[in-house]
Amino acid sequence: MTVPRIGVLALQGDVVDHMRALEAAGAEAAPVRRAAELDAVEGLVIPGGESTTMSKLLDIFDLFDPVKKRLDEGMPAFGSCAGMIMLAEEVLDGRPDQRSFGAIPMTVRRNAFGRQVDSFETEIGIEGVGGGPFKAVFIRAPWVERVGDGVEVLARVDSGAEGAGAPGGRIVAVRAGACLATSFHPEVTPDARVHQYFVDMVRG
């Protein structure tokens, strides 16, 4: 089987954990801080962290436009938490100057679960990820409030917190074409099945 070279956007956030999980899933992982490093990867993980800071750093490092161009050309990407926000078309409760790539036609709400609980974990089922429930860790997580055409909902969760309920639960994992996004952090647990799903997407 081929070993795809997958980048992790390394401006801010939990880069090392994603690199470890990608390697566990059979990829070669490389940090991406410059456009030349982006050119050398077949797919990109945008990690959790803080989307407002990431948006600023992408501008400072002259990486926003190169990443956007690769996404527009169909480069596979996986965004977790802040990374999910970065991939979204529309961001609610964001900062006015916050930018996102618009790679997935969806609306996300920042810190959505966080209004009730800062972080929590729960076992969820993820469409297309076999092998039983997945322990999903949420840290000041966004949820998806609207999905557009072509977006497949892979997982929902009802946090049980007041106000977090929605029929069937809140959307916390989606796929649209070559893009995957999760509200939670699969890189903080030893279970590499979500990264495996993404590595298989990149192998395509």
Ligand X SMILES: NC(=O)CC[C@H](N)C(=O)O
CA distance 74 to 172: 22
48 binds ligand X per the rule CB under 6 A: yes
Check: CB of residue 105 under 8 Å from CB of residue 68: no
When the beta carbons of 98 and 203 are compared against ligand X, the nearer one is 98
Q: Which of 7, 43, 49, 186 binds ligand X (CB under 6 A)?
A: 49
Smallest gap from Cβ 103 to ligand X, in A, equals: 16
Q: Is residue 49 part of an annotated ligand binding site?
A: yes
| Window of 24-32, 79-87, 125-133, 173-181 that interacts with ligand X by CB under 6 A | 79-87
When the beta carbons of 4 and 13 are compared against ligand X, the nearer one is 13
Name every residue whose Cβ is closer than 8 Å to that of residue 73 and which is 6 or more positions away in sequence.
none
Q: Which of 85, 104, 180, 199 binds ligand X (CB under 6 A)?
A: 85
Q: Which two tokens stand for residue 178?
A: 């070559």
Pick out residues in 99-158 that bind ligand X (CB under 6 A): 110-111, 139-140
**Residues identified as active-site:** 81, 185, 187
Alpha helices per DSSP H over the chain: 15-24, 35-39, 51-60, 64-72, 82-87, 193-203
Beta 28-32 vs 77-80: how paired, if at all?
A: unpaired
The amino acid occupying position 164 is A
Positions at the binding site for L-glutamine: 49-51, 110, 139-140
Interacting residues with ligand X (CB under 6 A): 48-51, 81-82, 85, 110-111, 139-140
